[in-house]
Amino acid sequence: MKAIRKVKRKYGGIAIENVPPPSPTDEEVLIKIKTASICGSDLHAYTYSPTHHYITTPVTMGHECAGEIIEAGSQVKDYRIGDRVVVEAILYCGTCSSCMEGNTHLCDEFEVRGMKRDGVFTEQIAIHPKYLHKIPDDLPFDQACLTEPLAVAAHAAIDNSRISPGDLVLITGPGPIGMLASYITKAMGAVPIISGISSDEEVRLPLLRKSGFHTINSEKEDIRFVLHHYFDTNHVDVVLECSGTSQVIQPSLGVLRKGGTLTLVGLYSKIAQVDLTQAVRKEITIRSSCAYEWKNFEQSLKLLDSNTLDIDNIIAHYSAEDAEQAFEDAVNKKVPKPIFQFS
């Protein structure tokens, strides 16, 4: 069967290869992958960024997918053939102290599919049902495969940012997580303002404006002027830092209100230099948010099923054969979420 694989440890270095189909154990199900989407971490693997030098090659890439169960092992109880499902991205041990506390996303053996072990950019996968969530009947596979990045945004916005209805929330970085965090923040009754740079003006910021969001090009506009002009204030209540650019952290502290919250969601390839005295004097809460919890998958499926998010805006379809084009389009910010259709 077809698989999109990282085969060389350099920028690009991917290939469409034929791999043997998996054989599920008695405790696993076999899933026919319908849709799979490219995530920011897949882009780090594609570009071979320093944050992802730990990957192994060759490896089947990808961790965001939706599909249908076509075989169920004799020990599987809660799932049956024909069930439509999404798959959690993180592999966890289930026995370390974090896992025992229910924080499987902080597992000592934390591993994202498609990095050191084969992922989901292929036609079939064998998987233990503990990693599955059922998809609501009317939710299309196209939208369902965005459950995982939406869960990451939900964990950051709902669990880790102390956002209240009416809050002004500055979201720095309009990548897929920043975009999805905008939808969630709005659904929470807050007012998101999304800031990007000039290269985001081609596709990302216009898409967000089309969906009715306030946006800022931080290279051309002054955030304080925008806040004063449109919102009659000088400060925001919360910053969700989704850009992964360490230089964004200092100005974020500057624009936060006293007692506000800065939540770090991006992965930083450069060490941040920050004057933390400003944070102390304003008693700013600095938090971070990693991946998602089990409940965030369920929240995200409900949010998607509510049909209130403008999710179709940000996806574009590619065949597996056009994988390189899909990755390049994502790297060059032409498409927020490329989706592969495997069957």
Shortest Å, Cβ 324 to Zn ion: 20
* 226/270 Cα distance (integer angstroms): 28
Does position 96 interact with Zn ion (CB under 5 A)? The reply is yes
Task: Give the nearest distance from C-beta 259 to Zn ion in angstroms.
Answer: 32
* Binding of Zn ion by 93 (CB under 5 A): yes
Contacts of residues 7-10 at CB distance under 8 Å and 24 or more positions apart, as own/partner, are 7/57, 7/58, 8/57, 9/48, 9/53, 9/55, 9/57, 10/48
Task: For Zn ion, give the closer residue by CB, 147 or 160.
Answer: 147
- Pick between residue 237 and residue 292 the one whose CB is nearest to Zn ion: 292
**4 closest CA partner among 51, 48, 63:** 63
CB of 303 to Zn ion, least distance (A): 16
Q: Are 72 and 79 in contact (CB under 8 A)?
A: yes
In the window 73-92, what residues touch Zn ion (CB under 5 A)? 92
* By CB under 5 A, residue 39 contacts Zn ion: yes
- Verify binding: residue 16, Zn ion, rule CB under 5 A: no
Give the Cα separation of 204 and 334 in Å (integer). Answer: 8
Largest CA distance in the chain: 63
**Does 151 interact with Zn ion (rule: CB under 5 A)?**
no
* 38 contacts Zn ion (rule: CB under 5 A): no
Decide: is 107 part of the binding site for Zn ion (CB under 5 A). Answer: yes
Q: Does 45 bind Zn ion (CB under 5 A)?
A: no
Q: Which of 62, 67, 129, 149 binds Zn ion (CB under 5 A)?
A: 149
Are 333 and 202 contacting, i.e. CB atoms less than 8 angstroms apart? yes
- Smallest gap from Cβ 254 to Zn ion, in A, equals 30
Q: Considering beta carbons, is residue 4 or 279 the nearer one to Zn ion?
A: 4
Is residue 289 within 8 A of residue 150, CB to CB? The reply is no
Torsion angle of the four alpha carbons 225, 231, 235, 236, in this order, in degrees rounded to the nearest 10: -120
Q: Where do contacts with Zn ion occur on this chain (CB under 5 A)?
A: 39, 64, 92-93, 96, 99, 107, 148-149
